[in-house]
Amino acid sequence: GNLQRQAGRWYIIPDGSTMHAPILIDDPGAKRVKVGDQVVVEVVSFPTDRAPARGVIVKALGPAGEPGVDALSIIEQFQLPGEFSEPALAQARQMVASFKPEKSSEGRLDLRDLTIITIDPTDAKDFDDAISLTRDERGMWELGVHIADVAHFVPEGGPLDLEARERANSVYLPGMVIPMLPEVLSNGVCSLQEGEPRLTKSVFITFDQHGVVKKSAFANSVFQSTKRLTYEQASAALDGKPGRMSAKVLALLHDMDQLARIIQQRRLKHGMLTLHLPDNELVFDDMGRAIDVVPEDTSFSHTIIEMFMVEANEAVARHIHQKGIRTLRRIHESSTKLQDGTLRRLVKFLGHELPGHATHHDLQNLLEAVKGRDEAFA
């Protein structure tokens, strides 16, 4: 919370929504803090009808609004993990030291002759997925989605594995990442960096000219990224401004664009909903201060990667299902939820119509009708 002083008394205004009432502090001097500082407080007694909450400052984070202090506050508030344990770091270093591309590649499908690229945001620290795409004389496409084989570097049951399970995922804050694995792995041998031999899990999906899946295959593989592109570079190249991009990378990009549009059309035909939800990104200066807010880039190059990743996920899900392996998955509720009339009443209030038993195609038509209008977000 934020340290304040009024009428000779020190108190904390808590962040978040757990507590709203100020917390009285008896001795702020012990931590050398001043008014306006962000602090971590331990509550000694909770508020009652007669008395306010009381607490003790256990950590000073710095002046509110200073670069990095907000992130520290969030880390403390949500008890996000800090440094990695020494055994986990030691094992990570050991796994990196033992990685010898030629030896580690034995028994893997070698894709180093393929043209394979990554497309990521400009500020991406690590590159997890890469794309290859070929087409045969019959017009059949073979899409390759290649994901960093992180499991190769995390021995089951070891310190790295236990630490990763505890963390469950990486946490992304503006301008910083709290990784699930030490950065010597996540930003190093597990990052699909341009020109470096990397170990991957690959899924190969064969599509016909209408974007219908004909078959899928899987492999442990080794490859070398031909080119690391940003979304902006990919978009510019597809718009006819490739810069100094090689002919084979440019040809791959155009093929990716073509296949993604075919898949998108197939998905739209089957009722896929596209929600245009506004998203913004913070812009920071060199000192880490937020200096601007800009709309997120929504160019088609994002959709290309999104389409291919969903296809890869579905291929893996089908494979697991066919093998009879029980697995957790996230689902979207069926449209029976639409039948209670709530959405129909809202839509009518905003001047539109929705049938009583609305289908996905009815929802597509509705979303298309409000595109760019004031009520679109609602």
What does the DSSP 8-state code read for residue 188?
I
Instruction: Report the pLDDT averaged over residues 128-133.
Output: 96
Residue 117 in contact with residue 131, Cβ under 8 Å?
yes
Handedness of CA 171, 176, 179, 185 (dihedral sign): positive
Instruction: Supply the pLDDT for residue 360.
Output: 85
Asked whether residue 30 carries a pLDDT value surpassing 90, the answer given is: no
> Would you place residue 336 in the very low, low, confident or very high pLDDT band (cuts 50, 70, 90)?
low
Instruction: Supply the pLDDT for residue 170.
Output: 93
Residue 284 in contact with residue 70, Cβ under 8 Å?
no
Instruction: Supply the pLDDT for residue 339.
Output: 63
Q: Cβ atoms within 10 A of the Cβ of 281, count?
A: 13
Residue 308 in contact with residue 145, Cβ under 8 Å?
yes
3-state helix, strand, coil in the chain (%, to 5): 35, 25, 40
Asked whether residue 235 carries a pLDDT value surpassing 70, the answer given is: yes
Q: How far apart are CA 144 and CA 224, in angstroms?
A: 13
Please state, in angstroms and as integers, the Cα–Cα distance from residue 269 to each residue in 262, 266, 272, 318, 359, following that order.
Answer: 11, 5, 7, 21, 12
Each residue's pLDDT tens digit, 192-207: 999 999 999 999 999 9
Instruction: Supply the pLDDT for residue 33.
Output: 86
Q: What is the mean pLDDT of the chain?
A: 91
Asked whether residue 106 carries a pLDDT value surpassing 60, the answer given is: yes
Per the model's pLDDT, the better-predicted residue between 20 and 161 turns out to be: 161
Percent of the chain predicted with pLDDT > 90? 60
The phi and psi torsions of 147 (rounded to 5 degrees) equal: -110, 135
> Would you place residue 102 in the very low, low, confident or very high pLDDT band (cuts 50, 70, 90)?
confident
User: Where are the alpha helices (H) located in 18-114, listed in sequence order?
Assistant: 69-77, 86-97, 101-104
Asked whether residue 338 carries a pLDDT value surpassing 70, the answer given is: no
Please list, in sequence order, all residues whose beta carbon lies within 8 angstroms of the beta carbon of residue 203, skipping any fewer than 6 positions away: 144, 145, 216, 217, 218, 312, 315, 316
The SS3 assignment for 278 reads: coil
Each residue's pLDDT tens digit, 34-73: 889 999 998 898 888 888 899 899 899 999 888 889 889 9
Instruction: Report the pLDDT averaged over residues 96-106.
Output: 91
Instruction: Supply the pLDDT for residue 124.
Output: 79
Instruction: Supply the pLDDT for residue 190.
Output: 94
Asked whether residue 335 carries a pLDDT value surpassing 80, the answer given is: no
Each residue's pLDDT tens digit, 82-94: 999 999 999 999 9
Instruction: Supply the pLDDT for residue 265.
Output: 96
Each residue's pLDDT tens digit, 253-311: 999 999 999 999 999 999 888 887 878 888 888 888 889 998 888 889 999 999 999 99
Question: Of 166-170, 173-177, 257-261, 323-327, which range is least confident?
Answer: 173-177
Question: Of 130-134, 196-200, 352-356, which range is least confident?
Answer: 352-356
> Would you place residue 247 in the very low, low, confident or very high pLDDT band (cuts 50, 70, 90)?
very high
Token pair in block for residue 33 = 């803090």
Instruction: Report the pLDDT averaged over residues 223-236.
Output: 95
Token pair in block for residue 344 = 């129909």
Instruction: Supply the pLDDT for residue 234.
Output: 96
